[in-house]
Amino acid sequence: MPPPPPDPVARLPEEWADVLREWGQPAFRAKQVFQWIHGRGVLDPEAMTNLPKALRARLAEEGLAPPLTVAARHRSEDGTQKLLLALPDGRTIESVLIPQGSSGAEDPIGGDEPEPGTRPVTQCISTQVGCAMGCVFCASGMAGLKRHLTAGEILAQVTLGRDLVDEGDRLRNIVLMGMGEPLHNYDAVARALRLMFRADGLGFGTRRVTLSTSGLIPEIDKLGEDFEGKVNLAISLHVPDDARRSELMPINRRYPLADLMEALRRYPLPPRRRITIEYTLVKGYNDTLADADALARLLGKLRAKVNLIPMNPVPDNPLGPPPWSVVEAFHDRLWERGVSTFVRRRKGDDIAAACGQLALAGETKKIRVALPVTS
């Protein structure tokens, strides 16, 4: 059996059992420790009041501690919260709590808005500090990869988020759409997902967790196999042809569209589920009706729905969103072609909280790839 991971926050109950047996502890302690961390979100051993003092001290000595601290917490008028979280090495990541009916929530245009205090909340979490993929419209991509997050750092965003939702609201959905490319950090992400799904821990149903990727084909296959297709998949497609997609998303040179579409067709989707296709509309670049037609053709019979995201402006980046009328026309054209399409709404802009455009304060550099920008 492989040794338990060094990161105590990311240990499964059976791994805790091995560790605690070595420490001479009775078997039931493993469940208790796991329950504190994952069931109750208590990551500081001092606060684990039903454990003997000596065990609490040992847990602290062996490195069990909250891996994240809240460095800043911004709230927008609609209840969206953006959390700036500090890691043990001083780097920061962001995570966003999005109540249904607000900001980046993926509702159809004109969905009903539940009252504050009763809302299901979606949390957007990060998987890396920065990102190596270099997509030209993305703040994380402009920053480059600083480091991978550990499974514990990914998971602790969720235990923290669950505590920080407004009273009465409930954390229901997790989207891996914050900073970073989740499939570039596969092992840590897979472990964090496994932990989130544990019924004796956080207890998320698989349909409540969505992983967004720029399209790393071998890892899409692996995810499908490891989780039997139960992790919802969102694909950042953005451009329906290889030449322009490679300009916007360098990863397309390695994994071009035809291969990506093949991978999506073989993803073991459970019945009645669909793959989400993310399409960030960039003004004058990928926003014509011909693009909508090409997208519809590309998707063909794939069980998919499209999320249109008007690009959020990024500092030092000349690209931006098209006017609303263009977004609407694109949306309508896709429906005419039989493609279910939704627009991600953008309230909460006052704190630039919309998920998927989280900046690395002070760490971005100027855009590297010149694109034609029309007005």
Smallest distance, ligand SF4 to C-beta of residue 161, A:
19
The nearer residue to ligand SAH, 252 or 312, going by C-beta atoms, is 312
- Signed CA dihedral, 112, 115, 116, 120: sign only: negative
By CB under 6 A, tell whether 280 contacts ligand SAH: yes
Taking contact as CB under 6 A, which single stretch among the options 11-19, 98-106, 126-134, 192-200 is the one that binds ligand SF4?
Answer: 126-134
Q: Which residues contact 315 (CB under 8 A, 6 or more apart)?
A: 139, 359, 364
Q: Of these, 309, 352, 359, 360, which contacts ligand SAH (CB under 6 A)? A: 309
Contacts with ligand SF4 in 230-269 (CB under 6 A)?
Answer: 236
Smallest distance, ligand SF4 to C-beta of residue 356, A:
7
Smallest distance, ligand SAH to C-beta of residue 314, A:
5
Would you call 94 a catalytic residue per the annotation?
A: yes
By CB under 6 A, tell whether 285 contacts ligand SAH: no
Smallest distance, ligand SF4 to C-beta of residue 181, A:
4
> What does 78 bind: ligand SAH, ligand SF4, none (CB cut-off 5 to 8 Å by kind)?
none
Q: Is 256 exposed, middle or buried (0-12, 13-18, 19+ CB in 10 A)?
A: middle
Q: Of these, 83, 121, 138, 196, which contacts ligand SAH (CB under 6 A)? A: 138
Strand ranges in the chain using DSSP code E only, listed in sequence order: 69-75, 81-86, 92-99, 120-124, 128-130, 145-148, 170-176, 209-213, 232-236, 275-281, 304-310, 341-343
Question: How far apart are alpha carbons 248 and 373 in whole angstroms?
Answer: 12
By CB under 6 A, tell whether 185 contacts ligand SAH: no
By CB under 6 A, tell whether 314 contacts ligand SAH: yes
Catalytic residue among 15, 46, 94, 363: 94
| Tokens at 213, concatenated | 């990727």
Per-residue binding letters, 193-222, with ligand SF4 (x by CB under 6 A): ---------------------x--------
- Chain centroid to CA 117: how far? 24
Question: How far apart are alpha carbons 242 and 248 in whole angstroms?
Answer: 10
Q: Of these, 135, 188, 195, 352, which contacts ligand SF4 (CB under 6 A)? A: 135
> What does 210 bind: ligand SAH, ligand SF4, none (CB cut-off 5 to 8 Å by kind)?
none
> What does 311 bind: ligand SF4, ligand SAH, none (CB cut-off 5 to 8 Å by kind)?
ligand SAH
Would you call 355 a catalytic residue per the annotation?
A: yes
Question: How far apart are alpha carbons 55 and 48 in whole angstroms?
Answer: 10
By CB under 6 A, tell whether 141 contacts ligand SF4: yes
Position 65, amino acid: A
Question: How far apart are alpha carbons 328 and 49 in whole angstroms?
Answer: 55
Question: How far apart are alpha carbons 2 and 11 in whole angstroms?
Answer: 12
Q: Which of 245, 244, 231 is nearest to 193 (CA)?
A: 231
Question: Coil, strand, or helix at residue 351?
Answer: helix
Q: Which residues contact 7 (CB under 8 A, 6 or more apart)?
A: 63, 67, 150, 151, 152
> What does 357 bind: ligand SAH, ligand SF4, none (CB cut-off 5 to 8 Å by kind)?
ligand SAH
Catalytic residue positions?
94, 355
Chain residues binding ligand SAH by CB under 6 A are: 131, 135, 137-138, 177, 181, 212-214, 236, 278, 280, 309, 311-312, 314, 356-357
Chain residues binding ligand SF4 by CB under 6 A are: 131, 133-135, 138, 140-141, 180-181, 214, 236
